[in-house]
Copies of this chain bind each other. A is one copy, B any other.
Amino acid sequence: MEIEEHISTEERIIKAAEKIFLREGYAGARMQEIANEAKINKAMLHYYFGSKKELMEKIFSAKFKEFIPKVTEALQSETTFENVLRVYIDTYIDMLMRNPYLPLFLIDTMHRNPEFLSFTQNFPGKLFAAWLQKQVDLKKIRPIKPHHLLLNMIGLCVFPILAKPMFQKVFQIEETDYQQILTERKEMVYDFVMRAIKIDDE
């Protein structure tokens, strides 16, 4: 019975480090706090992972992969452009609402500790860009550079998560109301993007 219930020390450290690094960022995170969270002492952290840097590398490269959308399958399936768009936005916003700390953690790290970027493998995102370009060539959508369309789509999904505290402050929005806004955006973003790129019929 213990086999299923037991969580290894290493696994507990990983989970604790994820929580603290994502919430506090690399500079703000404290090894002591990670140790407390994992219910061990600081010495154990170094026994398992050597240094704060090495532990961060582990967490960062894993989270980086999580954030890059896995659209490969969707693109290969023989479905409509509209469906791909809808699935993409739905999946992305769902993931973000479950991981609200993820975007700030990645963006902050890539700006202020770019050394950790070297520990991620190369991520050629050109597949989706090429697919979007094909949709333009096929006149499924208006002419628009794939990079712009991607920045638009991802920005419309991610920015409201990043800007939450600022937006709540400036527009004096309560927590529950903001959650409501985020939920509405799955429909809204799809609609907004479709209107912006659809080809007028006549």
Contact = CB atoms under 8 A, between A and B. Distances in A.
Contact of A181 (B117, B147, B169, B173): B147
A164 to B, nearest CB: 8
B117 A169 contact: yes
A28 B2 CA distance: 42
Overall SS of chain A's interface: helix
Interface residues on A, range: 35 or more
Contacts of A125: 170-171
Interface stretch (A70-78, A80-88, A103-111): A103-111
Interface centre among A123, A148, A154, A193 (most CB of B within 10 A): A148
A27 interface: yes
A159 B160 CA distance: 10
Nearest to A110: B165
Nearest to A163: B107
A111 B107 contact: no
Interface stretch (A3-11, A46-54, A184-192): A184-192
Interface of A: 23-25, 27-28, 68, 104, 106-108, 110-112, 114, 117, 120, 122-126, 129, 142, 144-145, 147-148, 150-152, 154-156, 158-160, 162-163, 165-167, 169-173, 181, 184-185, 188-189, 192-193, 195-197
